[in-house]
Structure 1
Amino acid sequence: MKFNKYHGAAISAFIIWGFIPFPLKALAGFPSSQILYFRILVAVLTLLAVSLTVRRQYWQETYALVKSKNAVEKRRFFLFTFMGGGLLTINWLAFIYVVNHVDIQTGSFSYLLCPILTAALGFVLLKEQLRVVQWLSVGLSLMSCLLVGTDSLYNLLFSLLIASSYAFYLITQRLLKEYDKIVLLTLQLLLAFLVIGPSYPWFVGEEAQPVTGFFLGQIALLSWLFTVIPLFLNLYALKELKSATVGVLMYLNPIINFTMAFVYFNEVASERKIWAYVVIFLSVMLYNLPIGKKKKKEAVVQ
């Protein structure tokens, strides 16, 4: 496999995402819902600004594509776009809360679990086939969940919430794969903000803190550096790389999270949790082994 600028873009995106606990931890004194509210607001305003300037063509193409569909396919587009916005909102809120009020390990574990859970959901909902080694990987993932659950059911439930919300989100994206990803994301966040935007006092609650310059600076960092920029890098990488290649590289994110949790933030784990992390790492390695893959007549060199 030849390393190129598309590999660099994908690696950069996942490395950036790997350091997302830093701006979240800096905002630990603010309610998770307040962080989420402003993260969505700044991200959607940024994406709309980009859309109205350098990406207008993609919006026109998406509009034309939706317009060309029949009534059933149009309803499907709007349904899965709205669902995607809801799932992404739940995922972001849960991850922010877990990093700031539970531990980084729990958030990292969920994103190691997520690709395997997505594959299992793809088999159930989309009839996508799994190889034998991938089924073994699913079994090992269940074992790791049992280990975490017997140590802390509370942590396991949060891991499953984060992993399942993002896994279902990815399923909705597969069902809308013919549409531009950034256009979809902008629509999803816009719809999400249209729901939560008018209800700031209710959504954030009585724990809302004064909006300071420090808060807005960290939100800008979170929305631009840790949301919009890696999304564009990831989209750029997907233009040339196989989704399977990007899928392997995405494990950089939770690996960096785990490293920071233990080395920088001095988190500790019980022996049972450590065994659970070892099992989930083994399941990830097993899932990505090429055993059982059908050889293609034409090799694709990347």
Structure 2
Amino acid sequence: MRINKYYLAAFSAFFIWGFFSLALKPLHNYPSLDILFYRVFFSVVVMVLINVAFRRKVMQQNWNHFKNMTTKKRKNVVVLTLGGGLFLSSNWFVFIYVMNHVSVKAASLAYLICPILTTVFAFFMLKEKLSKWQWIAVTISVFSCILLSFNHFEDIFYSLITAATYALYLVSQRKNSELDKFLVLTIQLLFAAIILLPFYPNYSGAIPTEPLFYGCLLVIVVFFTIIPLFLNLYALNGINSSAVGIMIYINPIIGFLLAIFYYNEQATYLQLFSYFLILVSIAVFNEKLIFPRKLKAVSSKMEGLK
């Protein structure tokens, strides 16, 4: 696997996300909806300012390109962009709730099963093919989730919802490649803000006054929202989804290690075994990507014997 700027972007995005709990956990006393409201609103303000101040030429070029599209293509771009915004905001709310009110392990598990859920959704929604090894990996992952559900149904339930919303976001964005990625992300967050705005007066708490809240929020907006999301979308320009899939596992592995060694959350032997099975399913699922050179070498030798 040749390392280039796209692999580095994907690695950096998921490495950063692995430490998200460090900025989110200090806000556990605040309602999940309040964190979501301010995260989305502040992100939109920052991204709109960046576009207006430094990316006017890019905005004009994309607007001209959009106007020159066929009606069918314009409709497709609008649906994919706005639908992605809906999935992304849903994922954020569930993830914040799980991280602060269920457990860090449950949040980490969500992104362990997310790549496999993404592929299953792509199989049914985009008609992408799965190899027999990938189906075996899906089966192993499902079995591990059943094991984790014993006496921990709430963990696995919220993990699956979190993983499903992000998987749907990734699947919906695979074909959304007509416009600039940073601009697409800005539009998606703006759409999410428009959706949330009517709920803010009735469902938000008192306006936070503690410096801790705004300090953590600034870190969340810049380092755990704008930067990794842009790196993630940028990486999809140059590498395939399988390569990105391997990178996703950096996030939950770091999160799980933080849960055990930093937050001192307890893990049973059954949970550890289940996580081990998920790691096995990851290796099986990506066997072609992990062992490409060996398979090519054997194939070349066989060709030479003919």
Which residue does 2:302 correspond to in 1?
Answer: none
Aligned partners of 2:115 and 2:167 also within 8 Å: yes
Q: For residues 25-64 of structure 1, what are the structure 2 equivalents within 5 Å?
A: 25-64=25-64
Which residue does 2:169 correspond to in 1?
Answer: 169
AA at the equivalent of 2:200: Y
The whole-number CA distance in structure 1 between the counterparts of 2:34 and 2:107 is: 19
AA at the equivalent of 2:39: R
Q: Structure 1 residue 281 and structure 2 residue 279: aligned?
A: yes
Which residue does 2:132 correspond to in 1?
Answer: 132
Aligned partners of 2:111 and 2:248 also within 8 Å: no
The whole-number CA distance in structure 1 between the counterparts of 2:64 and 2:113 is: 37
The whole-number CA distance in structure 2 between the counterparts of 1:102 and 1:134 is: 30
Q: 1:268 to 1:6 in 2, by over 3 A?
A: same
Aligned partners of 1:151 and 1:272 also within 8 Å: no
AA at the equivalent of 1:69: M
Q: Structure 1 residue 156 and structure 2 residue 147: aligned?
A: no
Aligned partners of 1:30 and 1:209 also within 8 Å: no
> What is the identity percentage for the equivalent residue pairs of Structure 1 and Structure 2?
39
AA at the equivalent of 2:91: N
Q: For residues 70-89 of structure 1, what are the structure 2 equivalents within 5 Å?
A: 70-89=70-89
Q: 1:211 to 1:87 in 2, by over 3 A?
A: farther
Q: Greater Rg, structure 1 or structure 2?
A: 2
Shift of 1:172: 1.2
Shift of 1:133: 0.8
The whole-number CA distance in structure 2 between the counterparts of 1:209 and 1:271 is: 43
Shift of 1:108: 0.7
Gapped runs of 5+ residues in structure 1? 296-302
Shift of 1:242: 4.4
AA at the equivalent of 1:156: I
The whole-number CA distance in structure 1 between the counterparts of 2:85 and 2:231 is: 21
SS class of match (1:29)? coil
Superposed CA deviations along residues 202-242 of structure 1, whole A, max 9, x for unmatched, are 232xx546333221111011000111122343445455444
Which residue does 1:299 correspond to in 2?
Answer: none
Superposed CA deviations along residues 136-165 of structure 1, whole A, max 9, x for unmatched, are 111111111211222322111101110110
Q: 1:202 to 1:288 in 2, by over 3 A?
A: same
Aligned-residue RMSD, C-alpha? 2.2
Q: Structure 1 residue 248 and structure 2 residue 246: aligned?
A: yes
Which residue does 1:266 correspond to in 2?
Answer: 264
Aligned partners of 1:36 and 1:93 also within 8 Å: yes
Aligned partners of 2:185 and 2:230 also within 8 Å: no
Superposed CA deviations along residues 48-89 of structure 1, whole A, max 9, x for unmatched, are 122123333332333233222333332332222222111111
Q: 1:68 to 1:124 in 2, by over 3 A?
A: same
* TM-score, normalised via structure 2 length: 0.88
The whole-number CA distance in structure 1 between the counterparts of 2:22 and 2:10 is: 21
The whole-number CA distance in structure 1 between the counterparts of 2:132 and 2:198 is: 49
The whole-number CA distance in structure 1 between the counterparts of 2:87 and 2:231 is: 22
Aligned partners of 1:151 and 1:273 also within 8 Å: no
Of stretches 59-68 and 150-159 in structure 1, the one that deviates more from structure 2 is 59-68
Of stretches 113-122 and 42-51 in structure 1, the one that deviates more from structure 2 is 42-51
AA at the equivalent of 1:229: I
Q: 1:213 to 1:63 in 2, by over 3 A?
A: same
Gapped runs of 5+ residues in structure 2? 297-306
Aligned partners of 1:30 and 1:208 also within 8 Å: no
Aligned partners of 1:113 and 1:163 also within 8 Å: yes
AA at the equivalent of 2:93: L
How many residues of Structure 1 are paired with residues of Structure 2 in the alignment?
A: 293
The whole-number CA distance in structure 1 between the counterparts of 2:231 and 2:173 is: 18
Q: 1:142 to 1:41 in 2, by over 3 A?
A: same
Q: 1:233 to 1:188 in 2, by over 3 A?
A: closer
Q: 1:79 to 1:191 in 2, by over 3 A?
A: same
